[in-house]
Amino acid sequence: MRVFGAMLVDAYRELNSKKLFWVILAISGVVVLGYGSIGFDAAGVSIGFGIWHVESEFLYDGSVLSTIFYRSIFASFIVAIWLTWIATILALISTTTVFPDFIAGGAIDLVLAKPIGRLRLFVYKYLVSLLFVVLQVTLFCIGIFLCMGLRVGDWDPLVFAAIPLVIVFFSYLFSVSVLVGVWTRSAITALLLTILFWFGLYSMNQTEAILLTVKTQFQLETEHAAERLAALEANAGDEPDETTTSRIAELRTEQQEAEDLVARLDTWYRLTAGIKAVLPKTGETIGLLDRWLSRDSDINIMDIFTGNVQADGNGQFSLGGRPDRDREAQRRVQAVYAGRSETYVIGTSLAFEFVMLGLAAWIFCRRDY
C-alpha cells in the first residue's frame, strides 16, 4: 500500500501541475452553476437565476414533472453531453501523456529499478491515472446533488452513481489509449487512435440503433398489415369480389415484402449487435444512469418537451394519448436496451478493457527499456 499511496500522491501532484485539469474543473463549475440557475416557481420555470422565465402548466414549483425534468436534464444532457463527450475528450488529452511519459527513457529506469514487480507497477499506474476523472466527476456530482436538493428538494444519492459509471466509461477508452501509448510510446498517436476508436464505437452504436429502430418500425408495419389483412379477409367472406381479392393480394405482397425486409434488417442488426457485443458499450453504460434515475416514471424529458403529458387535475401526470406507431417503435427499442442487464453492459465492456490492458501489460512487462 505504501507504493500505491506514493503513486497516488504523485498522480495528484501531476494533476495539480496541469492547467487543463483546472480548466476542466472550472468549466464543470460553470456547468453546475448553469444547472443550478434553473428553478421553478408557481407559474413555471426560471432560467439563469430568474433572467428568463417560461410559463408552464406542467413545470412549476412542487410539480412531480419538475423533479423528473430536473433529473432528466442531468442524466440526458449534462452527463450525456458534458461528462461523456466534452469532458472526456479533455480528460483523454490530459491523461494520454501519462503512460508515454512514464515509460520514457530515463524515467522508467528509475521506477523499474525499485523493488516492485512490473505488473504491479503497471496496474498501480493505470489505477492512479484514473484519479483525474475520479476527482472531476466526484466534485461535479457533489455540485449536481446540491443543486437537485436545493432546487427541487430531490436529495437522491443515486446521482453519485454517475461517478462509477463515468469512471468505467472513461476507463474503456483510456485502456485503448494506454495500449497504444505503451506500444508506440507516442502520446499523440495514442490520442488520435483512441479518438478514432471512439468514433468507430459511436458509429457502431448509431448503426445498431438505427437498424434496430428501422427493423422495429417495419415489424410494426408487418403486424399492422397482418391486422388489416385479417380484417379484410374476415369482412370479405367466402367469395370476395374482384376488388377485395386484388386488395388482399396487394396486402399479402406488401406484408411479404415487409417481412423480407425485416429479415434482411434483422440479419444486419444481429451482425452489428454481435460485433458490438465484444466492444465496450460506451453509450449504454452512460445510459444506465438515465435508466436508474427514471426508474419510477414512464415520462421522460422528450415527453415533456413534446407535450405528450396529461394532467389528472390532482397534481398527477401521465403520458399523453398519442400511442402512435413511432411511439410504439420507440417503446420496443427501449425495451430491447432495457433488456440488456447492467452486468452484460458493464461486464462485456470491462472484458474488452481487460483484454486491452492485458496486451498493454504484456508489452510493458516484456520490453527492454
Choose between 111 and 333: whose C-beta lies nearer to another protein: 111
Cell of 143: 455540485
If binding is defined by CB under 8 A, does position 2 make contact with another protein?
yes
DSSP state of 159: G
State the minimum distance, in angstroms, from the CB of residue 369 to another protein. Answer: 5
How many other C-beta atoms lie within 10 A of the C-beta of residue 90? 17
Residue closer to another protein by CB (options 22, 77) is 22
Q: Which is nearer to another protein, 55 or 109 (CB)?
A: 109
The C-alpha cell at 280 is 465496450
Determine if 1 is a binding residue for another protein (CB under 8 A): no
Binding mask 80-119 for another protein (x = CB under 8 A): ------------------------xxxxxxxxxxxxxx--
Least distance (Å) from another protein to the CB of residue 90? 19
Total number of residues binding another protein (CB under 8 A)? 28
Query: Positive or negative, the Cα torsion across 52, 53, 54, 58?
Result: positive
Shortest distance (Å) from residue 269 CB to another protein: 46
Q: What part of residues 213-272 is at the interface with another protein (CB under 8 A)?
A: none
In this structure, which amino acid lies at residue 143?
Answer: G
Q: Say if strands 317-319 and 309-311 run parallel, antiparallel, or are unpaired.
A: antiparallel
Q: Cell numbers 495528484 correspond to what residue? A: 12
Q: Which whole-number Å values give the CA distances from 17 to 13, 97, 187, 285, 354, in the listed order?
A: 6, 13, 18, 31, 30
Question: Binding to another protein (CB under 8 A): which residues in 13-72?
Answer: 13-14, 16-17
Tell me the closest approach of the beta carbon of residue 57 to another protein, in angstroms: 56
Nearest residue (CB) to another protein, 18 versus 327: 18
Of all helices (H) and strands (E), which one includes residue 345?
Answer: helix 342-366
Type and span of the H or E element at 230:
helix 187-236
CB 176 within 8 A of CB 279: no
CB of 181 to another protein, least distance (A): 17
> Using an 8 Å Cβ cutoff, are 310 and 193 in contact?
no
Dig out the grid coordinates for 166 from the structure: 463515468
By CB under 8 A, residue 363 contacts another protein: no
> Least distance (Å) from another protein to the CB of residue 368?
4
Comparing CB distances to another protein, the nearer of 117 and 321 is: 117
**Which is nearer to another protein, 2 or 295 (by Cβ)?**
2
How wide is the angle at C-alpha 26 spanned by C-alphas 22 and 32, nearest 5°? 140
Nearer to another protein, 183 or 292 (CB): 183
Order across the sheet with 52-55: list the strands.
39-40, 44-47, 52-55
- Minimum distance from residue 19 beta carbon to another protein (Å): 12
Contact footprint for another protein (CB under 8 A) = 2-3, 5-7, 9-10, 13-14, 16-17, 104-117, 366, 368-369
